[in-house]
Amino acid sequence: MDVGGDTRRRLVVIGHGPAGHRLVEALRERDTAGAWQITVIGEETRPAYDRVALTSYLTEDAELAFPAHGPGVRLHTGDPVTGIDRAARTVTTASGAVVGYDALVLATGSSPFVPPVPGRDLPGVFVYRTIDDLDALRAHCAARPDAGGVVVGGGLLGLEAARALQGLGVDTHVVEVAPWLMPRQLDEGGGAMLRRHIESLGLTVHAGTPMAGLEAGPDGGVARVRLSDGSAIESSVVVFSAGIRPRDELARGCGLPVGERGGIVVDATCRTADPAVWAVGECALVDGQVYGLVGPCFTMAEVVADRLLAEATGGPGQAAFGGADTSTKLKLMGVDVASFGDPFADRAEGTLGVTYTDPVGGVYKKLVVSDDARTLLGGVLVGDATTYPTLRAYVGAELPGSPEQTLFGGTEPAGGDLPGATVICSCNNVSAETIRCSIRDEGLTDVAAVKGCTRAGSSCGSCVPLVKKLLDAELVAAGIEVSKAICEHFEHSRAELFDIVRVRRITTFTQLINEHGRGRGCDICKPAVASILASLGNGHILDGEQAALQDTNDHFLANLQKNGTYSVVPRIPGGEITPDKLIVIGEVARDFGLYTKITGGQRIDLFGARVDQLPQIWKRLVDAGFESGHAYGKALRTVKSCVGSTWCRFGVQDSVAMAIRLELRYRGLRAPHKLKSAVSGCARECAEAQSKDFGVIATERGWNLYLAGNGGMRPRHADLFASDLDDETLIRYIDRFLMFYIRTADRLQRTASWLEGLDGGIDYLREVIVEDRLGICAELDAAMERHVAAYSDEWRDTLADPDKLRRFVSFVNAPTVPDPSIAFAPERDQIKPVLLAGPQLEVVSR
């Protein structure tokens, strides 16, 4: 291997994974004078790629390659280093090439740990580490379409492997030796909630049960997995993802110190016992710890780049690795999971643990705080991680409010309120002050520019919302208009995207992002665009590409519950129902063994339906005259009513008739968030109309209309919009209100917060809707008429479409087999899922 006659200092980097790639890029950015000649020697045949996104390669054929280094870097792949001569300062490769160095960086990464169990070498056993591993796994599964599979390891990578295996059509089991999933990141409560989510998606979890060994079948390949409790899992493919071991064999071979359990010993500058040799990434043992997260590995690479540049130029070189923030946020099979700080700090004396559990919503949250409840020490979020960026930023700092308020985002600060030393991006160790200074000094005006300048948000992306807040705060302070881009894939706000889709008659997400965005989209923009397309009457939400944009509830036209079953809510307009229809609901509940409950919106909810039972239940209900109540969608839910003047001696108007009229008019109307309404027949307000998105209260002369109220965690009374309206004027105003809200609101914004954000508030809204200040009332009226004319029941349409019905199975590869993990117990003459009771908020003092 010829490195030429270059007289510059010679740097050799062994390993071209993420850490090695980051080191080279960081050094190239800093080494403007070209003091270092860089040679990178990689073991794999391909250049560096994003290992964090391996599953997307398997499930989506995603392109994972990192950007090429460009000129000035010699990259040699597929020729691993076999030995290091520290005295001669040379490395030798498998091909026999000898390369000299002045500085050597070991970035050899790690290898998968495979427990020493019988059968580990059988055909059909894989690890989950490289693209080659995934290619082999895919080929094996393709040759065995009915294969059962086991993933050994319930950590982050193990669950990713399980997701990938399931995506290949394999009935997948996860075996984890610890009592719960992701034991290094989550506490027991968080692990239990994650397990419920995972099992609801069709995987089977065996936690607290070590594996005893693998057994071969008649063809010599693996056929079953034996567990320590004596049970067995039939499986023709096994994936080991039970942890990693540092690749330190080169260091051992040349006499460098390594840890008792592996890892190349380095100091705070990532330098080994040999001053000319450094180590970064998963192979390095820093202060007795090996880091398996990308953030700390990147930080090590930055430290070494700084030190190497100082060594070549005689500069100060003060960078050091002072530990790492191991906080992490990810989405596992559609489930938000996050941990920050020390999630296990509540095991120590003098701490408080504040936990919230909502099994129905699939949410678990925990904060660990000091005993005075002022300093945040750590926490766990499962099912809802919207507050993660702020919570992580406050680890070790004083909370902006009470733990309960902070847990639910009630005191989320503006970007300008965060202390300068707060680490915003733990992947790249970027503080709030660094971001602020970069924005000011470099004149940055968008998140993409901040990413490029500081690297904040360029790795896992979980800190991007907080980066956006910092950017907005700085721009506002400088008198610059703040971008309202919905995400990094679109430069437009949701309202602007709505108008683009409407005016240009765009019907697919692909067309929209190709013409007006960039990239492939994300969990922010995809559901928002799905809502826009549905609001504009783009057909059934499960038609074609639209189906892939929906969340779990919309995907199955039913509400997912904590044990993997679904609830079915037929529409009962105004709460009025005939005895015959009541009997049908009772018969359906009895025949399918469902739990029944009358909801707060005057409907009947049927709980406990398996996904494969949903079409059968809908058929019975549709035949009896029912339709979808859209309890699963960001759409109109109910229009609640009292009995009104028909029965009540205080009633002054027929509230039931009006509630039915409104509900049938607005049923199926998709919006940025759910919509609730109510009609009260007199001022006694029995239907609680003033807590609804739009509420109607009868008067002697007509109807009073109230807008933008909501209940929930942050209740808000609706504002009186207009008084003594006749029926037609009332409906016309509601039409315009809803269409204006749908057109202009942000994603997932309730009408209450939308109105609070309108410049001019209720008075401005009155000018738009009543006085037609913007000249759009005719458009709003026409849009609502199109919705009313185009309405079609989603349940009935699904029953009539064989392609749509194919998705309603518990197991893709066994359509007629019910999910065996679903279990119930009797309670009060009905069923209940065999899981935790809740929700509950608990404070525990240590």
Same CATH fold, 125-242 and 9-111+246-313? yes
Report DSSP state, residue 289. Answer: B
Write the CATH number of the domain with boundaries 328-477: 1.10.10.1100
Instruction: Tell me the per-residue pLDDT of 433-492, one tens digit each, with 9 for 90 and over.
Output: 888 888 888 888 777 788 878 878 766 566 776 787 788 888 878 777 666 777 878 888
Lowest pLDDT segment from 155-164, 507-516, 559-568, 655-664: 559-568
Find out whether 642 is annotated in a ligand binding site. Answer: yes
With 90 as the cut, is the pLDDT of residue 788 above it?
yes
Instruction: Tell me the per-residue pLDDT of 131-153, one tens digit each, with 9 for 90 and over.
Output: 999 999 989 988 887 778 999 99
| 64 or 459: which leads in pLDDT | 64
pLDDT band, residue 271 (cuts 50/70/90): very high
pLDDT band, residue 548 (cuts 50/70/90): low
- Report the alpha-carbon angle 711-713-717, nearest 5: 35
Write the CATH number of the domain with boundaries 634-792: 3.30.413.10
H or E segment and range at residue 567: strand 566-568
Instruction: Tell me the per-residue pLDDT of 351-370, one tens digit each, with 9 for 90 and over.
Output: 888 888 888 778 889 999 99
Report DSSP state, residue 745. Answer: P
- Tokens linked to 760: 């001019």
- Listed residue (99, 103, 27, 100) closest to 70, CA to CA: 27
Find out whether 522 is annotated in a ligand binding site. Answer: no
Q: What is the pLDDT, as a whole number, of residue 417?
A: 63
**From the CB of residue 59, how many other CB atoms can be counted at a distance below 10 Å?**
16
DSSP string for 445-513: -SHHHHHHHH-TTSSS-TTHHHHHHHHHHHHHHTTPPPP--SBTTBSS-HHHHHHHHHHHT---HHHHH
HSE toward the beta carbon, residue 417, CA cutoff 13 A: 11
- Listed residue (830, 801, 810, 795) closest to 621, CA to CA: 795
Q: What are the distances in angstroms from CA 577 to CA 581, 618, 642?
A: 6, 17, 13
46-55, 75-84, 414-423, 441-450: which has the highest mean pLDDT?
Answer: 75-84
3-state secondary structure of 328: strand
Q: Which amino acid is at 480?
A: I
3-state secondary structure of 380: strand
Tell me how far the alpha carbon of residue 295 is from its chain's centroid. Answer: 19
Residues contacting residue 564 through CB under 8 Å, at least 6 positions apart: 196, 199, 200, 201, 819, 821, 822
Burial of 728 per CB tally in 10 Å (0-12, 13-18, 19+): exposed
Residues contacting residue 731 through CB under 8 Å, at least 6 positions apart: 661, 662, 665
- Per DSSP, helices labelled H in 51-203 are 54-60, 131-142, 156-167, 188-200
Pair 243, 113: CB distance under 8 Å: yes
Find out whether 453 is annotated in a ligand binding site. Answer: no
Does the domain spanning 125-242 belong to CATH 3.40.91.50?
Answer: no
Identify the residue whose tokens are 């956006």.
468
CATH topology of domain 9-111+246-313: FAD/NAD(P)-binding domain (3.50.50)
Instruction: Tell me the per-residue pLDDT of 595-609, one tens digit each, with 9 for 90 and over.
Output: 999 988 899 999 999
Q: Which amino acid is at 354?
A: V
Q: What is the pLDDT, as a whole number, of residue 409?
A: 57
Phi, psi (deg, nearest 5) at residue 529: -65, -35
Q: What is the pTM of this model?
A: 0.55
Burial of 708 per CB tally in 10 Å (0-12, 13-18, 19+): buried
Find out whether 686 is annotated in a ligand binding site. Answer: yes
In angstroms, rounded to a whole number, what is the distance separating the alpha carbons of residues 724 and 730?
A: 9
Q: Percentage helix, strand, coil, to 5, in the chain?
A: 35, 25, 45
Residues contacting residue 118 through CB under 8 Å, at least 6 positions apart: 212, 213, 214
DSSP string for 672-736: SS-EEEEEESSTT-TT-GGGSSEEEEEETTEEEEEES-B-TTS-BPPEEEEEEE-HHHHHHHHHH
3-state secondary structure of 770: coil
pLDDT band, residue 835 (cuts 50/70/90): low
- The domain locations on the chain are 9-111+246-313, 125-242, 328-477, 494-534, 551-628+804-846, 634-792
Q: Hey, what's the torsion of the CAs at 119, 124, 126, 130, to 10 degrees?
A: 150
CATH topology of domain 551-628+804-846: Alpha-Beta Plaits (3.30.70)
Q: What is the pLDDT, as a whole number, of residue 459?
A: 64
